[in-house]
Structure 1
Amino acid sequence: MSKQLIISQAKLTGNEDCKVLYNKAKDIVELEIGDTSLRLEVRNFFMMNEMMRKAVARLVMQTELHQVQ
């Protein structure tokens, strides 16, 4: 993808880089986790974000993370 903007980045526990890149010309978001890359149209990225947010909420309720908080 050309002309990408780094929207967000982090270093994961396993020392892998995680980046969210945006290509305005193509309206595509690319999620890079280590050597894995996932490209999504922006609207699908928004839907995936909502799905992940709900999944995280369910996981918190089912794991020890819930008792810590």
Structure 2
Amino acid sequence: MVTLSRRQATVRVGLIKRTVNVKFGYGWREFCSRNDVEPGDAIYITFPNKVENFAKVDILD
């Protein structure tokens, strides 16, 4: 398990890959019920343009 509270993850939304900062409570938000995710997990994130979507974690940096 990798804690993402101060890390970046490369996530896939559809065919688009984005590198996002995963910080709880501010900045990029993710709505997992737990603070640890692994590559392949789906996380729920809100993009700066307010689009909310599930994203699949590809790479943890």
Report the TM-score when normalising by structure 1. Answer: 0.28
Higher relative contact order (CA 8 A, sep 6+): 2
Higher strand residue share: 2
Higher helix residue share: 1
Larger Rg: 1
